[in-house]
Amino acid sequence: MSKFKESTAGKGAPALNTASLPDIVFMLLFFFMVVTKLRDTELKVSVSTPEASQLTKLENKSLVNFLYVGRPTTKYQQVYGTKPRLQLGDKFATIDDLPLFLEKHRSSISEKQQSQITSSLRIDGDVTMGIVGDIKTALRKANQLKINYSAKPLQK
């Protein structure tokens, strides 16, 4: 018989080591911060695009100019009214501002890719064709001939 006996009556499972838990949490936080892409522009116009059955996805989003046409949201109706407006980037614009907007985007892209720039029109379904025709004419004058109309998939 031994003099020193180990007592197993009061002992349970050892405590879980949580020393590496903050490291794991910060790694997950940094992962989601790097992977998540925030929206570039704040929509100031309400756009409900029409539905279409034959859609193609745009490949390189950095080569796309987004032009939004619709009625200002309720937040901006006091200042800009309720008529359909053109939004370029984060601000309201007129059709006369379109060539400068296109040129700024064109100058930020390499010369090889400038021929691949596409203008994507996101137009509300309730907007009349008058403003759309004016925008298309301004795009033609600015030598921007690749135009895309944004739509959502047809609901079955």
Query: What residue ranges do the domains of the chain occupy?
Result: 45-153
Kindly state the helix (H) or strand (E) to which residue 45 belongs, with its residue range: strand 45-46
pLDDT of res. 106: 93
Give the chain's radius of gyration (CA, Å).
28
- What does the pLDDT look like over 68-104, one tens digit per residue? 999 999 999 999 999 999 999 889 999 999 999 999 9
Name residue 92's beta-bridge partners.
Answer: 87
Q: For residue 102, report the phi and psi dihedrals to the nearest 5 degrees.
A: -65, -40
Q: Which residue has the higher pLDDT, 1 or 44?
A: 44
pLDDT beyond 60 at 125: yes
Q: For residue 118, report the phi and psi dihedrals to the nearest 5 degrees.
A: -120, 140
Tell me the pairing of strands 85-88 and 64-72: antiparallel
Mean local confidence (pLDDT), 96-117: 93
Closest to 110 measured CA to CA, from 57, 35, 60, 36? 60
Name residue 119's beta-bridge partners.
Answer: 65, 147
Q: Which residue has the higher pLDDT, 36 or 39?
A: 36
Q: pLDDT band at residue 9, thresholds of 50, 70 and 90?
A: low
pLDDT beyond 60 at 145: yes
pLDDT of res. 8: 58
Look at residue 5 and give its three-state secondary structure. coil
First to last CA, the chain: 83
Q: Which residue has the higher pLDDT, 60 or 73?
A: 73
Query: How many angstroms separate the CA atoms of 58 and 60, rounded?
Result: 6
Mean local confidence (pLDDT), 33-51: 83
pLDDT of res. 41: 74
Classify domain 45-153 at the CATH class level.
alpha beta
